[in-house]
Amino acid sequence: MKNTYKIKPLKNRIEALRIINFFLKKGVFEQTWAPGEKALLKSSVINSLKIRKHQYYYIISENEIIGAIGIRENLYKTVAMKLVKIILLLIMITGDLG
């Protein structure tokens, strides 16, 4: 049986805190955090709630976040095409846009 996951947009502070905890969870990323990088991540997720051109999406499985991504329009405003490619990739992987 194929697993189907819901892709959800970040809509509130509780979800934002869950996304932050996912990103900071041991084993999610194999990297050494630079000084100030964790604080920047936290503020980026929280501030995206107020910025229309900066959005986070996450995937839930059994009430646990198993994936998350942030998308922000850049100086050249090319994020739209990147967003479309990411969404299409997520649909291909999960089979569901929720």
Tell me which residue range forms the domain holding 81.
6-94
Q: Say what the pLDDT of residue 61 is.
A: 84
Query: Hunting for tokens 């900066």 — which residue is that?
Result: 54
Is residue 10 a contact partner of residue 16, using CB atoms and an 8 Å limit?
A: yes
CB distance 97 to 88 below 8 Å: no
Beta strands (DSSP E) in the chain are 6-9, 54-61, 64-72
**Any domain includes 78:** yes
Within-domain flag for 65:
yes
pLDDT at 73: 73
Structural contact between residues 57 and 8, judged by C-beta atoms closer than 8 angstroms: yes
The answer to the question of residue 85 being in a domain is yes
Largest CA-CA distance found in the chain, in angstroms, rounded: 44
The pTM assigned to this predicted structure is: 0.73
Q: Give the number of domains in the chain.
A: 1
**Does residue 1 lie within any of the structural domains?**
no
- pLDDT of 97 reads 45
What per-residue confidence (pLDDT) applies to 10? Answer: 94
Mean pLDDT, the chain cut into blocks of 10 residues (98 residues total): 76 96 82 87 93 86 85 67 58 50
